[in-house]
Protein backbone atom coordinates (compact mmCIF):
# COMPACT_ATOMS: atom_id res chain seq x y z
CA UNK A 1 0.00 0.00 0.00
CA UNK A 2 2.85 2.35 0.82
CA UNK A 3 4.40 1.67 -2.60
CA UNK A 4 1.06 2.38 -4.27
CA UNK A 5 0.71 5.69 -2.42
CA UNK A 6 4.23 6.77 -3.41
CA UNK A 7 3.52 5.84 -7.01
CA UNK A 8 0.24 7.75 -6.85
CA UNK A 9 1.98 10.85 -5.51
CA UNK A 10 4.56 10.62 -8.29
CA UNK A 11 1.94 10.23 -11.01
CA UNK A 12 -0.85 12.45 -9.81
CA UNK A 13 0.91 15.11 -7.74
CA UNK A 14 -1.49 17.49 -6.06
CA UNK A 15 -4.54 15.48 -7.15
CA UNK A 16 -3.66 12.96 -4.44
CA UNK A 17 -3.88 15.72 -1.85
CA UNK A 18 -7.52 16.49 -2.59
CA UNK A 19 -10.18 16.49 0.06
CA UNK A 20 -12.65 13.65 0.62
CA UNK A 21 -15.11 14.97 -1.96
CA UNK A 22 -12.41 14.92 -4.63
CA UNK A 23 -10.74 11.65 -3.67
CA UNK A 24 -9.02 9.80 -6.48
CA UNK A 25 -10.13 6.18 -6.97
CA UNK A 26 -6.80 4.56 -7.74
CA UNK A 27 -8.34 1.25 -8.80
CA UNK A 28 -10.49 3.00 -11.38
CA UNK A 29 -7.53 5.05 -12.61
CA UNK A 30 -5.35 1.96 -12.97
CA UNK A 31 -8.12 0.07 -14.78
CA UNK A 32 -8.66 3.03 -17.09
CA UNK A 33 -4.93 3.30 -17.78
CA UNK A 34 -4.69 -0.43 -18.49
CA UNK A 35 -7.50 -0.26 -21.03
CA UNK A 36 -6.03 2.85 -22.63
CA UNK A 37 -2.58 1.30 -22.81
CA UNK A 38 -3.87 -1.89 -24.40
CA UNK A 39 -5.46 0.20 -27.12
CA UNK A 40 -2.52 2.53 -27.72
CA UNK A 41 0.82 1.12 -26.60
CA UNK A 42 2.89 -1.42 -28.47
CA UNK A 43 2.95 -4.85 -26.77
CA UNK A 44 6.67 -5.34 -27.33
CA UNK A 45 7.42 -1.99 -25.74
CA UNK A 46 5.34 -2.79 -22.68
CA UNK A 47 6.92 -6.22 -22.27
CA UNK A 48 10.37 -4.62 -22.15
CA UNK A 49 9.53 -2.79 -18.95
CA UNK A 50 9.30 -4.11 -15.43
CA UNK A 51 5.76 -4.23 -14.04
CA UNK A 52 6.19 -1.18 -11.80
CA UNK A 53 7.77 0.70 -14.72
CA UNK A 54 4.88 -0.26 -17.02
CA UNK A 55 2.35 1.06 -14.54
CA UNK A 56 4.25 4.30 -14.18
CA UNK A 57 4.71 4.83 -17.91
CA UNK A 58 1.10 4.01 -18.73
CA UNK A 59 -0.17 6.47 -16.16
CA UNK A 60 2.19 9.26 -17.19
CA UNK A 61 1.41 8.84 -20.89
CA UNK A 62 -2.30 8.86 -20.17
CA UNK A 63 -1.99 12.03 -18.12
CA UNK A 64 0.17 13.78 -20.71
CA UNK A 65 -2.31 12.96 -23.47
CA UNK A 66 -5.21 14.23 -21.37
CA UNK A 67 -3.46 17.48 -20.46
CA UNK A 68 -2.28 18.18 -24.01
CA UNK A 69 -5.81 17.69 -25.30
CA UNK A 70 -7.32 19.66 -22.42
CA UNK A 71 -8.43 23.29 -22.63
CA UNK A 72 -5.80 24.97 -20.43
CA UNK A 73 -2.16 25.47 -21.36
CA UNK A 74 -0.86 25.89 -17.82
CA UNK A 75 -2.32 22.50 -16.81
CA UNK A 76 0.27 20.86 -19.06
CA UNK A 77 3.00 21.96 -16.62
CA UNK A 78 1.80 19.53 -13.95
CA UNK A 79 3.67 16.55 -15.43
CA UNK A 80 6.93 18.29 -16.32
CA UNK A 81 9.08 16.69 -13.61
CA UNK A 82 7.48 13.25 -13.92
CA UNK A 83 7.90 13.18 -17.70
CA UNK A 84 11.57 14.08 -17.39
CA UNK A 85 12.00 11.38 -14.75
CA UNK A 86 10.65 8.57 -16.95
CA UNK A 87 12.52 9.64 -20.11
CA UNK A 88 15.77 7.83 -19.15
CA UNK A 89 13.71 4.73 -18.42
CA UNK A 90 12.23 4.78 -21.92
CA UNK A 91 15.62 5.47 -23.49
CA UNK A 92 17.07 2.46 -21.69
CA UNK A 93 15.19 -0.16 -23.72
CA UNK A 94 15.35 -0.55 -27.48
CA UNK A 95 11.64 -1.39 -27.62
CA UNK A 96 10.62 1.82 -25.83
CA UNK A 97 13.01 4.21 -27.57
CA UNK A 98 10.34 5.24 -30.14
CA UNK A 99 8.21 6.46 -27.23
CA UNK A 100 11.25 8.22 -25.76
CA UNK A 101 11.70 10.04 -29.08
CA UNK A 102 8.08 11.19 -28.93
CA UNK A 103 8.34 12.24 -25.28
CA UNK A 104 11.52 14.26 -25.88
CA UNK A 105 9.65 16.26 -28.50
CA UNK A 106 6.93 17.05 -25.93
CA UNK A 107 9.25 18.40 -23.23
CA UNK A 108 9.26 21.87 -24.75
CA UNK A 109 5.50 22.04 -24.26
CA UNK A 110 5.86 21.13 -20.59
CA UNK A 111 8.61 23.71 -20.06
CA UNK A 112 6.70 26.50 -21.80
CA UNK A 113 3.50 25.67 -19.91
CA UNK A 114 5.52 25.81 -16.70
CA UNK A 115 6.85 29.23 -17.69
CA UNK A 116 3.32 30.50 -18.28
CA UNK A 117 2.21 29.04 -14.95
CA UNK A 118 4.96 30.99 -13.16
CA UNK A 119 4.66 34.27 -15.04
CA UNK A 120 1.03 34.82 -15.99
CA UNK A 121 -0.75 37.02 -13.45
CA UNK A 122 -3.52 35.22 -11.58
CA UNK A 123 -7.09 36.30 -12.37
CA UNK A 124 -8.56 38.98 -10.15
CA UNK A 125 -10.50 37.59 -7.21
CA UNK A 126 -14.05 38.92 -7.02
CA UNK A 127 -15.52 39.19 -3.51
CA UNK A 128 -18.02 36.44 -2.84
CA UNK A 129 -17.16 34.63 -6.09
CA UNK A 130 -15.26 31.32 -6.48
CA UNK A 131 -11.69 31.56 -7.83
CA UNK A 132 -11.50 31.74 -11.60
CA UNK A 133 -9.17 29.77 -13.84
CA UNK A 134 -6.20 31.61 -15.26
CA UNK A 135 -6.96 32.37 -18.91
CA UNK A 136 -4.91 30.88 -21.71
CA UNK A 137 -2.05 33.08 -22.95
CA UNK A 138 -3.02 35.13 -26.01
CA UNK A 139 -1.49 34.05 -29.34
CA UNK A 140 0.77 37.12 -29.54
CA UNK A 141 2.36 36.19 -26.21
CA UNK A 142 2.63 32.54 -27.27
CA UNK A 143 4.55 33.56 -30.39
CA UNK A 144 6.91 35.81 -28.41
CA UNK A 145 7.67 33.10 -25.84
CA UNK A 146 8.43 30.49 -28.48
CA UNK A 147 10.66 32.85 -30.48
CA UNK A 148 12.64 33.58 -27.31
CA UNK A 149 12.86 29.90 -26.36
CA UNK A 150 14.25 28.82 -29.74
CA UNK A 151 16.46 31.86 -30.34
CA UNK A 152 19.75 30.09 -29.60
CA UNK A 153 18.81 26.51 -30.40
CA UNK A 154 21.07 24.85 -32.98
CA UNK A 155 19.92 22.49 -35.68
CA UNK A 156 19.09 19.01 -34.41
CA UNK A 157 21.89 16.72 -35.59
CA UNK A 158 19.33 14.41 -37.16
CA UNK A 159 18.00 17.22 -39.35
CA UNK A 160 21.19 17.68 -41.34
CA UNK A 161 20.80 14.76 -43.77
CA UNK A 162 17.01 15.02 -43.97
CA UNK A 163 16.29 18.71 -44.66
CA UNK A 164 17.88 18.80 -48.17
CA UNK A 165 16.37 15.39 -48.92
CA UNK A 166 12.82 16.26 -47.91
CA UNK A 167 12.46 19.88 -49.06
CA UNK A 168 12.00 18.88 -52.75
CA UNK A 169 9.18 16.55 -51.68
CA UNK A 170 7.33 19.47 -50.09
CA UNK A 171 8.00 21.65 -53.14
CA UNK A 172 6.62 18.95 -55.44
CA UNK A 173 3.36 18.97 -53.45
CA UNK A 174 3.20 22.79 -53.73
CA UNK A 175 3.88 23.27 -50.01
CA UNK A 176 6.50 25.80 -48.89
CA UNK A 177 9.69 23.78 -48.39
CA UNK A 178 10.35 25.68 -45.16
CA UNK A 179 7.55 23.66 -43.57
CA UNK A 180 9.80 20.61 -43.60
CA UNK A 181 10.71 21.89 -40.12
CA UNK A 182 7.39 20.55 -38.87
CA UNK A 183 9.45 17.39 -38.41
CA UNK A 184 11.60 19.09 -35.77
CA UNK A 185 8.53 19.97 -33.73
CA UNK A 186 6.91 16.58 -34.21
CA UNK A 187 9.88 14.28 -33.64
CA UNK A 188 13.22 16.13 -33.75
CA UNK A 189 13.62 14.38 -37.13
CA UNK A 190 13.59 10.95 -35.52
CA UNK A 191 11.80 8.55 -37.92
CA UNK A 192 11.29 6.01 -35.12
CA UNK A 193 9.13 8.33 -32.99
CA UNK A 194 5.83 6.87 -31.89
CA UNK A 195 3.20 8.55 -29.73
CA UNK A 196 0.95 6.83 -27.21
CA UNK A 197 -2.04 8.00 -29.27
CA UNK A 198 -0.89 6.01 -32.29
CA UNK A 199 0.92 8.64 -34.39
CA UNK A 200 4.24 7.50 -35.85
CA UNK A 201 7.19 8.62 -37.88
CA UNK A 202 9.05 11.83 -38.44
CA UNK A 203 5.84 13.74 -39.17
CA UNK A 204 3.72 11.90 -36.58
CA UNK A 205 0.96 10.74 -38.89
CA UNK A 206 -2.04 8.97 -37.42
CA UNK A 207 -3.00 5.65 -39.07
CA UNK A 208 -6.13 7.03 -40.75
CA UNK A 209 -4.21 9.99 -42.20
CA UNK A 210 -1.44 7.72 -43.45
CA UNK A 211 -3.92 5.45 -45.19
CA UNK A 212 -5.74 8.43 -46.69
CA UNK A 213 -2.52 9.43 -48.42
CA UNK A 214 -1.45 5.97 -49.50
CA UNK A 215 0.85 4.84 -46.69
CA UNK A 216 0.32 1.27 -45.48
CA UNK A 217 0.74 0.72 -41.75
CA UNK A 218 0.73 -3.09 -41.86
CA UNK A 219 2.55 -5.45 -42.13
CA UNK A 220 5.27 -2.81 -42.52
CA UNK A 221 4.60 0.70 -41.22
CA UNK A 222 5.54 3.04 -44.05
CA UNK A 223 5.15 6.04 -41.75
CA UNK A 224 8.62 5.14 -40.47
CA UNK A 225 10.13 5.77 -43.93
CA UNK A 226 11.14 9.46 -44.00
CA UNK A 227 10.54 10.19 -47.67
CA UNK A 228 7.16 8.47 -47.78
CA UNK A 229 6.14 10.09 -44.51
CA UNK A 230 7.20 13.52 -45.81
CA UNK A 231 5.18 13.06 -48.99
CA UNK A 232 2.03 12.14 -47.05
CA UNK A 233 2.55 15.02 -44.59
CA UNK A 234 3.04 17.49 -47.46
CA UNK A 235 -0.10 16.25 -49.22
CA UNK A 236 -2.05 16.63 -46.00
CA UNK A 237 -0.74 20.15 -45.40
CA UNK A 238 -1.55 21.11 -48.99
CA UNK A 239 -5.12 19.84 -48.53
CA UNK A 240 -5.51 21.72 -45.24
CA UNK A 241 -4.18 24.95 -46.72
CA UNK A 242 -6.55 24.65 -49.66
CA UNK A 243 -9.38 24.27 -47.16
CA UNK A 244 -8.46 27.06 -44.73
CA UNK A 245 -6.36 29.40 -46.94
CA UNK A 246 -4.04 30.12 -44.02
CA UNK A 247 -0.93 28.31 -42.78
CA UNK A 248 -1.66 28.85 -39.09
CA UNK A 249 -5.11 27.35 -39.46
CA UNK A 250 -3.73 24.54 -41.61
CA UNK A 251 -1.18 23.64 -38.92
CA UNK A 252 -3.81 23.87 -36.20
CA UNK A 253 -5.86 21.35 -38.20
CA UNK A 254 -2.79 19.16 -38.75
CA UNK A 255 -2.41 18.96 -34.97
CA UNK A 256 -5.99 19.04 -33.69
CA UNK A 257 -7.98 17.82 -36.70
CA UNK A 258 -9.84 19.81 -39.32
CA UNK A 259 -13.17 19.17 -37.61
CA UNK A 260 -12.02 20.95 -34.46
CA UNK A 261 -10.81 23.97 -36.41
CA UNK A 262 -13.95 24.14 -38.56
CA UNK A 263 -16.18 23.96 -35.49
CA UNK A 264 -14.35 26.76 -33.67
CA UNK A 265 -14.32 29.03 -36.72
CA UNK A 266 -18.06 28.51 -37.08
CA UNK A 267 -18.76 29.06 -33.38
CA UNK A 268 -16.67 32.25 -33.28
CA UNK A 269 -17.82 33.42 -36.72
CA UNK A 270 -14.14 33.86 -37.49
CA UNK A 271 -11.72 33.38 -40.36
CA UNK A 272 -8.33 33.82 -38.65
CA UNK A 273 -6.26 31.67 -36.32
CA UNK A 274 -5.89 34.29 -33.59
CA UNK A 275 -9.67 34.47 -33.19
CA UNK A 276 -9.87 30.82 -32.11
CA UNK A 277 -6.38 30.21 -30.71
CA UNK A 278 -7.23 30.22 -27.00
CA UNK A 279 -10.14 27.79 -27.60
CA UNK A 280 -8.01 25.15 -29.25
CA UNK A 281 -6.59 22.17 -27.31
CA UNK A 282 -3.64 23.14 -25.12
CA UNK A 283 -1.11 21.35 -27.32
CA UNK A 284 -2.37 23.08 -30.46
CA UNK A 285 -2.22 26.49 -28.78
CA UNK A 286 1.51 25.87 -28.35
CA UNK A 287 2.09 23.78 -31.48
CA UNK A 288 1.25 26.46 -34.04
CA UNK A 289 3.50 29.19 -32.59
CA UNK A 290 6.21 26.59 -31.98
CA UNK A 291 6.21 25.61 -35.66
CA UNK A 292 6.16 29.29 -36.61
CA UNK A 293 9.12 30.10 -34.35
CA UNK A 294 11.01 27.03 -35.59
CA UNK A 295 10.57 28.04 -39.24
CA UNK A 296 11.67 31.59 -38.42
CA UNK A 297 14.74 30.31 -36.56
CA UNK A 298 15.79 27.81 -39.23
CA UNK A 299 14.82 29.67 -42.41
CA UNK A 300 14.58 33.33 -41.39
CA UNK A 301 11.04 33.71 -42.74
CA UNK A 302 7.69 34.41 -41.10
CA UNK A 303 4.48 32.63 -41.95
CA UNK A 304 3.34 35.74 -43.83
CA UNK A 305 6.38 35.35 -46.07
CA UNK A 306 5.72 31.69 -46.96
CA UNK A 307 4.99 31.20 -50.63
CA UNK A 308 3.33 28.24 -52.33
CA UNK A 309 5.78 26.89 -54.94
CA UNK A 310 4.63 27.38 -58.52
CA UNK A 311 5.13 25.18 -61.56
Same domain, 36 and 94: yes
pLDDT of residue 27: 46
- As a dihedral over the C-alpha atoms of residue 4, residue 85, residue 112, residue 203, rounded to 10 degrees, the angle is -110
Same domain, 179 and 286: yes
Instruction: Tell me the backbone φ, ψ of residue 194, rounded to 5 degrees.
Output: -140, 130
Give the domain range for residue 61.
2-13+26-119
Question: Is residue 205 classed as helix, strand or coil in its secondary structure?
Answer: strand
Let me know if residue 310 belongs to a domain: no
pLDDT tens digits, the chain, 311 residues: what are they?
A: 333 333 333 333 333 333 333 333 434 444 455 555 555 667 777 677 777 688 888 888 999 999 999 999 999 999 999 999 999 999 998 989 999 999 999 999 999 999 999 999 888 877 877 778 889 999 999 999 999 999 999 999 999 999 999 999 999 999 999 999 999 999 999 999 999 999 999 999 999 999 999 999 999 999 999 999 999 999 999 999 999 999 999 999 999 999 999 999 999 999 999 999 999 999 999 999 999 999 999 999 999 999 999 87
Let me know if residue 21 belongs to a domain: no
CA distance 282 to 274: 14
**Cβ-based burial of 28 (10 A; exposed 0-12, middle 13-18, buried ≥19):** exposed
Same domain, 240 and 175: yes
Let me know if residue 128 belongs to a domain: no
pLDDT of residue 175: 98
pLDDT of residue 156: 94
Same domain, 101 and 156: no
Same domain, 146 and 54: no
Amino acid sequence: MRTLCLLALLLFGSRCLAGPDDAVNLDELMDSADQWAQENLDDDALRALQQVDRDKVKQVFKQIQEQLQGPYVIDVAALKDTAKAILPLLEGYEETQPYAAWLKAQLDYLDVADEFQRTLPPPKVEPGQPPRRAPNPPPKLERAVWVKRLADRPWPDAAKPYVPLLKPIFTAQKVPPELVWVAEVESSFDPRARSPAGAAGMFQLMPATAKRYGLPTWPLDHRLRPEESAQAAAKYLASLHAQFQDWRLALAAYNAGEGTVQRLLKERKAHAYDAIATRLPAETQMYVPRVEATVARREGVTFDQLRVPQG
